Each structure stands twice: as C-alpha cells, then as structure tokens.
C-alpha cells in the first residue's frame, strides 16, 4: 500500500483487512490501521451536498459509500450509513438505522439490524445476525490491538454490547443484553471453568449473569450488590439451532 487512498480502496474491495486470523489467532493488521489514521490526518471537514447526506459534515475523504443493485447488498432506506473504507459483502442486509465504520469487514449473508453499530475495524463473518441495538465496538488505537471479531454463523441478541477486542467464535449465541469486554468475567458452567482469553468458544450459548461483590467492599457486600458477568449455560444443539433459523424469503 503506497498511501491511505490505496488502503481505503483495498479495504472496500475486501482485498486487505484490518485484522487477520493467523495460526488460529486474530491479529491486527498494523499497516492497514496506520493508513486509516493517516486518512484521518489528511482529511478536511466538508459539508456534504448530496441529496441523502445534505447538511452532514465529516472528513472529505471518508464520505459514506453508495451501492447499486448489482452489488447484491440490501441497504433499506432510513438513516443507515457505511463509511468509506468499510467492506460489505454480497448478500448483506442492513436495516435502518445502522452504521458500519471505517475498516470494518462484514461478510456475505450477514444481517445488520436496526440501531446496530459495527465499529471501526470490527470483523464480522458470514451469515452472522446482529440483532436490533447491538453494539460492536471499534478500535483504531492502539494500532496493535485486535478488534472485536464475530465469526461465521454467530447470533448476537438484541441490545448486546461487545467491545475491547472480544472474539466470538463460530456458531456462538450471545443472548440479549449480554455485555462483553476484557473486564467481563466469563464462566463456562458446562465445562466448569472460567474463560480468561476473551474468546467465546464455538457454539457456546452465553447469557447475562451476576456475581457477588468481593467482601473487601464491605458496604457493597452488606447491600447484597452484584457485578456483571457472562455465563455459558450450554453449547448449541438442534433445538437451539431451530430457534435461530431465519426464513430465506427475508433475504
């Protein structure tokens, strides 16, 4: 990549990504992230005059993307925006309003529902369902930090928040309102262990939970207060899969 312009073009075409899976581990592509930061530095504020973006102001070189029917992407009218430098594959559906930020990668067959955010450099796999109100965090700095990754066939329930480089493996199910960050304890109650690497295992079914506050915080303990955690209550079976099936005609 000779400059930020080429980097953004390559990101949009899917030829390069802001993170790659190397030897089973997702690693940030620091060269790409550096170029995205260069684009921000080079950008100048501009008021967009196009009909659908009239009155909006952003960096002149990060204008929202536009699509044609032959792209095979269904972006339903009503406030959705896909920023320059984001890749969206054929077969993706975006319901309004949704936002896909620079450097993000959204693979084929994925549904991005209303009020969902795909943050900068986030990696979303094939046939993923991001339900209404889902927030997938982004990360540009520090450049070495891997972004949030949602692998193929995962289902993210309404209102879930996934940030700080958490990785959701293939086929996992995140229940509504689960919040996952580096500081969120994840208890695998099936295998009786604690997840310490911020990676949700394949086909895990994760629900929101709580745990008692440490007795060192006497006031909190006396009040019976609890802290957020996430609990793997099962691994996906045929019954779970059936409840998540999407009708083909919706696509």
Q: How many Å apart are CA 242 and CA 60, to the nearest integer?
A: 46
Mean pLDDT of the chain: 93
By DSSP bridging, strand 155-156 and strand 173-174 are parallel
- Say if residues 64 and 53 touch (Cβ distance below 8 Å): yes
Domains of the chain, by residue range, sit at 4-186
CATH fold for the domain made of 4-186: UDP N-Acetylglucosamine Acyltransferase; domain 1 (2.160.10)
**Region of residue 32 (phi > 0: left; psi between -120 and 50: alpha; otherwise: beta):** alpha
pLDDT digit string, tens, across residues 128-168 = 999 999 999 999 988 999 999 999 999 999 999 999 999 99
To 5 degrees, how large is the angle CA 145–CA 31–CA 7? 120
Residues 6 or more apart in contact with residue 36 via CB below 8 angstroms:
4, 7, 8, 11, 18, 85, 102, 103, 120, 121, 140
pLDDT digits (tens, 9 = 90+) for 201-211: 999 999 999 99
Report pTM. 0.93
């Amino acid at each position: 990549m000779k400059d930020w312009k080429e980097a953004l073009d390559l990101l949009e075409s899917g030829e390069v990504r802001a993170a790659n899976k190397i030897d089973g581990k997702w690693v940030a592509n620091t060269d790409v992230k550096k170029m995205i930061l260069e684009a921000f530095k080079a950008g100048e504020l501009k008021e967009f005059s196009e009909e659908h973006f009239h009155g909006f102001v952003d960096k002149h070189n990060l204008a929202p993307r536009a699509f044609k029917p032959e792209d095979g992407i269904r972006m339903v009218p009503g406030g959705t925006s896909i920023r320059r430098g984001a890749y969206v594959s054929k077969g993706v559906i975006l319901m309004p309003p949704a936002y896909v930020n620079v450097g993000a990668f959204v693979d084929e067959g994925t549904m991005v529902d209303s009020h969902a955010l795909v943050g900068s450099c986030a990696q979303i796999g094939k046939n993923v369902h991001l339900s209404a109100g889902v927030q997938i965090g982004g990360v540009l700095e520090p450049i070495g930090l891997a972004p949030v990754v949602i692998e193929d066939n995962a289902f993210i329930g309404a209102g879930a928040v996934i940030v700080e480089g958490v990785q959701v493996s293939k086929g996992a199910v995140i229940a509504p309102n689960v919040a996952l960050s580096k500081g969120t304890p994840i208890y695998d109650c099936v295998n009786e262990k604690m997840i310490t690497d911020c990676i949700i295992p394949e086909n895990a079914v994760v629900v929101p939970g709580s745990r008692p506050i440490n007795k060192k915080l006497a006031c909190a303990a006396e009040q019976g207060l609890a802290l957020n955690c996430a609990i793997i209550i099962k691994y996906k079976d045929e019954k779970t899969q059936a409840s998540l099936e999407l009708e083909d005609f919706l696509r």
